[in-house]
Amino acid sequence: MKITVLGCSGAQFPGHNPAGFLLDGKILFDAGSLTTVLDGHAQSKIKDIFITHAHLDHIRDISFLADNIIVAKRKQNVNIISIRSVISTIKKNLLNDSLWPDFTMIPDYENAVLRYLTVTEGAPLKVNGYHITAYRVNHSVPAVGYLVEDRKNKRFFYTGDTGPTGSTWKKIGDRKLDCLIIEVSFPNRMSEMAALTGHLTSRLLKEEIRKIKQMPDRIYITHIKPQHLRVIRAEIENLGMKNIKLLKDRDVISI
């Protein structure tokens, strides 16, 4: 497994791109920075986009990818994959022929550049040799994280945006995570804001990790608000965990 971090920021600032994690150059998790970072050739390799939730910073570049495919006259079909409520929100509020063209009907229904694929929580979907399973997380809107497992039983879990969520870790159970990509959006002093918006602080992160039956080999922190990066970095360091790292754009994770 090779995961390229296209973006891992919790806000849009120069040098800080929203969420996007590219697996083996073909499978994308969240589309906040897809067309911002990847050139046309790299975009043309993407076949499947798994969306954690329908907030704009996680879906916006779906629109521009579809436009780029049409303009380049590429014969490329991309699956937009998530739970039913997330797909419904994208259909209603983004690709709705008002805010942006409905590229699930362009150039026509049979050859549309975008296709929706609804997954059921807890039911694995086989994609490119991986089993990818959605598990509900605790956010301000319907949201899931994704457990990704390969044939050699290597696995990682990407939470997307989440607040404290005991049920997620119960469902993952005894499976050992080689890698956990989990968010920390706010510093500890903003715990009320984190709770209100469905996010974590470093203190809440420590509590979440205690809920996991087997400690992940590596823990990567995503979705930090750039305005609070310095404080959050210090708070993460104070946790005293050797297997934890703050992600930055263009990092590559090998599993």
Could you state, in order of their start, the residue ranges of all structural domains in the chain?
Answer: 2-254
Could you tell me the strand order of the sheet in which 155-158 lies? 125-127, 130-136, 144-149, 155-158, 179-183, 218-222, 244-246
Q: How confident is the model at residue 22 (pLDDT cuts 50, 70, 90)?
A: very high
Cβ–Cβ under 8 Å, residues 30 and 20: yes
Tokens of 72: 């380049």
Q: How far is CA 50 from CA 145, 210, 213, 220, in A?
A: 10, 27, 26, 19
Mean pLDDT of the chain: 97
Tokens of 1: 């497994």
pTM exceeding the 0.75 threshold for the entire prediction: yes
Q: What torsion do the CA atoms of 16, 21, 23, 28 make, to the nearest 10 degrees?
A: -120
Alpha helices, DSSP H, located in the chain: 34-37, 40-44, 56-72, 84-93, 166-172, 191-197, 202-211, 229-237
Q: How confident is the model at residue 234 (pLDDT cuts 50, 70, 90)?
A: very high
pLDDT tens per residue across span 30-55? 999 999 999 999 999 999 999 999 99
pLDDT for residue 27: 98
| b/e per residue 167-198 (b: at least 16 CB within 10 A) | ebbeebeeeebbbbbbbbbbbeebeeebeeeb
CA angle 41, 47, 48 (to 5 degrees): 130
What CATH number has the domain spanning 2-254? 3.60.15.10
* Helix, strand or coil, per DSSP, at residue 207: helix
pLDDT for residue 152: 94
Residue partners of 38: CB distance under 8 A and separation at least 6: 6, 22, 46
pLDDT for residue 228: 97
Q: How far is CA 167 from CA 164, 181, 184, 193, 196, in A?
A: 9, 17, 19, 22, 19
Tokens of 69: 């495919």
Q: How confident is the model at residue 239 (pLDDT cuts 50, 70, 90)?
A: very high
